[in-house]
Amino acid sequence: MIEPSLVWFRRDLRLDDQPALTAAINHGGPIIPIYVSDDTDQSDWQAGAAGRWWLHHSLGRLNDQLISLGSRLIIRQGDILSQLMSLIEETKATAVFWTRCYEPASILRDSRVKAELRSRSIIAESSNGQLLFEPWEVQTKEGRPYQVFTPFWKSCLNRDSPAMPQPAPQWLPSPEHWPSSLTIDHLGLLPTISWDAGLKTTWLTGANSAKAELDRFLESTVFEYDVARDQPAQRGTSMLSPYLHFGEISPRTIWHETHRRVKEQRGGRESTGAETFIKEIGWREFAYHLLFHFPKTTRQPLRSEFSRFPWREDAEGLVAWQRGQTGFPIVDAGMRELWNTGWMHNRVRMIVASFLVKDLLIAWQRGAEWFWDTLVDADLASNTLGWQWTAGCGADAAPYFRVFNPTSQSEKFDPSGEYLRRWLPELRQLPTDFLHAPWLAPEGVLAKAGVYLGHSYPYPIVDHHEARLRALQALSQIKQPK
């Protein structure tokens, strides 16, 4: 009789296109799905509050799926290696399968786990279930990692297409006796003070919801994505980022399903919208490529000259930004959307990030930390890439002298003010002509709309024109010879 295998779930919370699960099925014997919460982990960038909320509900959805296949999810808490060894002893398992993670701390931990298991003659195998291409597979002609997206993505597209996703199993072989398990509630992932009402009304977690979201997007939006993605008032994006982060859908599934829909609906003709969408999956690949090859960039700028940048300590400005009280409506709307839903439209993410690092001259790391705690899709690779891109200190970064004007960005991408009115009810009655810059409205217009600057809504905390000049002056300092 073949002894049981452990399938160690982490950020691959699905049963279809699940290479660790497939490996265990091919190995034969009973399968014991496990999830271990490491409460001894002291590394940087542990899951933020919004991500923990998502994880709680996602684990529940995964367990429901496993139960429907005659299985269940075993929950443990504690040091990863100790818990794995305990489970191996309890179940007599002879193999452990898992899907790779690429964060620096995860790589070190997984290497330690794999070496220890193999030293005890336990089969220990990891697989790629998070990415289209492994970070070490894509290299320049000189054998170095890419630091510019366009040649990186061109190199990816010149490779063989990603493997077809595998369907979920119809049944899983179970052990005669199940090991003991904690409940998901025992992990303490949910907030002790209820701030998550907006998350509950915005999201349905789990693999089934991920597929439904992909179907919605491919049916309604993908062919207009190149334009729709910049309009924050509309549902013009895929909304798949948290599902991708927690592995409730695989990038291979998105890749092949998108190409299938293009072939069916366009007869294989090119679609700018679909190409732009697939390219966004490419940016996610690029983020992981950079994180793998340049692990220190989670805290340090890739471009070393930016270590001399004269960032300001501005506690009041940071709090105003976090709370959506800067006096710039598009910035405040975005930050309030983030707090209420755990998500923010990508165009608005760029605007609020630019405002923090350029208008306020607050270090990008402070913004990355806030996003990490409040985003349901907080992903270390993408978060790092995005913030370093905005700050001008990373790979393929926007030049620092490109400073978004929050007012003109608002007027361009939310011309009717629908997005602003949704998240800033105190400005809802303002005429659109003044909605994007309330401080320019005459007193009579403000009074009629019930807006009292400095009371019901703040004055701008900076003058954008002066802040832009200050940012450019700061940039000139790091260009001076040492």
**Which of the residues are catalytic?**
280, 283, 311, 346, 364, 387
Cβ atoms 419, 334 nearer than 8 A: no
- How many CA atoms are closer than 13 Å to the CA of 403, on its beta-carbon side? 21
Measured between alpha carbons, how far is 425 from 427 in angstroms, rounded to an integer?
Answer: 5
Neighbours of 371 (CB within 10 A): 23
Residue the block writes with tokens 């011309």? 415
Residues 233-264 as b/e (b if ≥16 CB within 10 A, e otherwise) read: bbebbbbbbbbbbbbbbbbbbbbbbbeebbee
Residue 106 sits at the vertex; the CA angle it makes with 101 and 111, to the nearest 5 degrees, is 100
Q: Is residue 479 packed enough to be buried (19+ CB in 10 Å), middle (13-18) or exposed (0-12)?
A: exposed
Positive or negative CA dihedral for 43, 390, 367, 199?
negative
Q: Other CB atoms closer than 10 Å to residue 305's CB: what's the count? A: 11
Query: Which of 90, 60, 89 lies closest to 73 in space, CA to CA?
Result: 60
145: left (phi over 0), alpha (psi -120 to 50) or beta: beta
> Phi, psi (5° rounding) for residue 165?
-65, 145
Measured in whole angstroms, how far is the alpha carbon of residue 199 from the centre of its chain? 15
Radius of gyration for the alpha carbons in the chain, expressed in angstroms and rounded: 24
Q: Return the half-sphere exposure (C-beta side, CA atoms, 13 A cut-off) of residue 50.
A: 26
Nearest in space to 10 (alpha carbons), one of 94, 119, 129: 129
Report in angstroms the alpha-carbon separations of 203 from 128, 165, 308, 382, 469.
Answer: 27, 25, 41, 20, 41
Give dist(CA 195, CA 191) in Å, integer. 7
Q: Which residues of 388-424 are buried (b: 16+ CB within 10 A; e: fewer)?
A: bbbbbbbbbbbebeebbbbbebbbebbeebebbbebb
State the Cα–Cα distance between residues 470 and 472, nearest whole angstrom. 5
Beta-carbon contacts of 255 under 8 Å, excluding residues fewer than 6 positions away, are 132, 161, 162, 278, 281
